[in-house]
Structure formats: structure tokens, C-alpha cells
Amino acid sequence: MMVGKKFFKACAVAVLALSCACGALAKEKVILDTDMVEGFDDGMAMLMLATSPEIELLGVTITLGNTWVAEGTAHALRQLEAVKMEWKIPVMMGIDMPTRAGRQATLMEEIRTFGSGFDGYWGAYSSVRPDDWKAVYRTKYGHEPTCAPMDGHAVTFIIETVRRNPGEVTIVEIGAPCNLAAAIRMAPDIVPLIKRVIYMGGAFFVPGNTTPRAEFNWWCDPEAARTCVRAPFREQIVVPLDACHRMPYGAPKLAELIRLTKNDIIRPMHQAKYDFVYGSGKARFQLFMWDLVAAAVCIDETLITDSVTAFIDVDTTYGSGYGQALVYVTGVPPLGAQKVKFVTDIDTVRIWKMIDDLCASL
Ligand code: BDR
Ligand code: CA
């Protein structure tokens, strides 16, 4: 009888140890959908997720926003090469066109009519769209790439990956959400299969950065943003400008991050950003950590120190509120709006440490 008890106890301990070990090993499966730039912010957000022991980065899907898709693809591949992960993490090219036809052609008229925000930044829309990612890569980096994006489209990749991993995939959405919107329009069955969506997007109780009312990612394709936030996902977490404004930084901090970064491919990218923003002696615009906050929150949700759970929507009326994030704290939300958690405060000390450590580890 005594032996039986002992044996039972030993088994229970073993099962507990095994389940703890499995728990420790269970990584969060993530697809990163991004309008990729070099270094801060999208590039470093990707590297934060790619190198995190808590995350299994299943793929990086490229969308429109800061850059056109051919540019974003070249940037993503080069930065994965920098950390020798170019064969480990697939990159897929995605949608290069906003929902509203002719948007780029009428952009200046749009800005004149509806006004502009404090950044005066239009991302890809202010440049000619390249088609060939390889040509972009060659021109920028002066040699042939050692890798390539995967065959197939980003939207198909999202659909198939979610279907293969029901209830397990987190989508981290840090560009214009065109790929995700297309995926859920084409395959609505994936909506309940996605574990959660974490966006960097929107501005709720603070002004926009691209127009007086709209934040850049959602302004890039307001119709796509609305399709996404109106989808009945299990969970949606939004990291808006309200939270990102808690982490402004300037020339001294960027210089420190450059010093911390040992990687010979990534460090010049930070330096180029420094020269672009501060080169004239006067800052071109205020920098924030934007997408890194979303990546950090994906790794560790306890970094959220304050949030609001409410019905939200995105204004798609082509007027001065085009792309504005709307929140219904009281009153009746519009039909189809979903409740999301949007972040209003974050643990800035811990996120800065994660960023410093990331730079130093590359
Ligand atoms: C967002 O817009 C882009 O410029 C940044 O990468 C970030 O995703 C901030 O509004
Ligand atoms: Ca981005």
C-alpha cells in the first residue's frame, strides 16, 4: 500500500514537471503583417519577435504602408539575413494597393481638402511603386540577395496557416491591414480560428499623426482597417497612438541604440534613420517606438498597464475623418462594431529594456 502511494506521488510529480516543461516550451505562434522598413520601427519589431524565445514566428507577410511591397520585401529579407534567419522565417509578398481605387493619384487633393497631421508623412504614397523586389534589393544593398520570398501570396499564407493551426495563431498587424482584410473576406471561416489580433493602429483620445484625426496605418487603407476591427475575432488588442506616445525618443536615445547595436548590417540602418531625421540639425519629426510596442505586448501582455475595453470602429467616409478610429465608450455602437481592448498605458521601463537588450543582442 505504501509503495503504491509513493509510486502515485512520484507519477504525479513527473506529470507536473512534464506539463511545466511543455508549458515552458509552448511558444506563441505569430504571423507578422508589416509595411517593412529598415531598423525602427517595423524591422526591429520583426527582429524582436524573430529572436524572442517565447515566440514562434511562422511568417512575415508584407503589406502596403511605409513602403511598397517590393521595398518591404527587400527590407525584410535583408534584416533576416543580418541575423541569419533568412531560411528559417518565410517572407510572403502581399497586397500593394489600398481598397480605395486611385488613392495615390488623388492624394494631394485629399490632403488639401481634408487637412494633414503633424507628421506630414505619406509613406509609400509619396513615391513611385517599384514592382521588382530583387531590383530594389540590388540597388539598396549592392549585391544579389542570398534568399527570396516564398512563392504564393501573403493572403493565402495567412488563410492556410490559420487553418492548419486552429485557435493558435496570433496576427501582429503593424502596417495597413490590407492582407488580413483580404484574408477574412476570402475565407471568413478563419475569423474564429485566429487566436487574437494585435494591431498597432488608430488614435482614440489623441490627435492622429497623418491627418488631424487619423493614425497612419489605418489611414493608409481605412476600408481594410474597418473590415478587420469589425470581424468577430476571439480577441483584438489595439496598441494605438495613445499608448505609443508614452515612448517618444529623440537624437540622444537613437544615438545610444546605435552604439548598442553590434550587428554590421543593422547598425548602418539605424544610422541612416538618424541622419535622415536629425541630419539637418532640426528634427524632421518626432519618433516613437510604435510597432515595437505591439511586438512587446505580444511577447508579454503584462506590459499593458492600462486599457479600455469598448466598441470601436474606423471611419470610412471620404472626408476629414477618413481613417479615424472611433470609440463608443457610452451609447449605442454601430451595427457590426466589435468590442476590443485598446491600450492606453504601458510599462515603458520594461519595454525600453527589451529594446536596449534587443539591440545589444543582434
Ligand atoms: C505606424 O505607421 C508607420 O509609420 C509605423 O511603422 C507604425 O506602424 C505609426 O503610426
Ligand atoms: Ca509599421
State pLDDT tens for residues 308-343. Answer: 999 999 999 999 999 999 999 888 899 999 999 999
Ion ligand 2: residues, CB < 5 A: 35, 42, 174-175, 291
- pLDDT band, residue 11 (cuts 50/70/90): very low
- From ligand 2's centre to the CA of 47, what distance in Å? 13
Check residue 8 and give its pLDDT. 45
Count of CB atoms within 10 A of residue 8's CB? 10
Return phi, psi of residue 138, to 5°.
-60, -45
Atom of ligand 1 nearest to the CA of 288: 9
Exposure of 197 in the CB half-sphere (CA atoms within 13 A)? 33
Threshold 0.75, pTM exceeds: yes
Q: What is the pLDDT of residue 24?
A: 55
CATH architecture of 29-361: Alpha-Beta Complex (3.90)
* pLDDT of 31 above 80: yes
Angle at 49 between CA 298 and CA 360, to 5 degrees: 120
- Cβ(324)–Cβ(287) under 8 Å? no
- Tell me the CA–centroid distance for residue 176 and ligand 2, in Å: 8
pLDDT band at 1 (very low <50, low <70, confident <90, very high): very low
Q: How many angstroms from the chain centroid is the CA of residue 274?
A: 22
Distance 287 CA to ligand 2 centre (A): 13
Domain ranges of the chain: 29-361
| DSSP H/E element including 198 | strand 194-200
The share of the chain scoring above pLDDT 70, in percent, equals 93
Index of the ligand 1 atom closest to the CA of residue 123? 4
State pLDDT tens for residues 299-317. Answer: 999 999 999 999 999 999 9
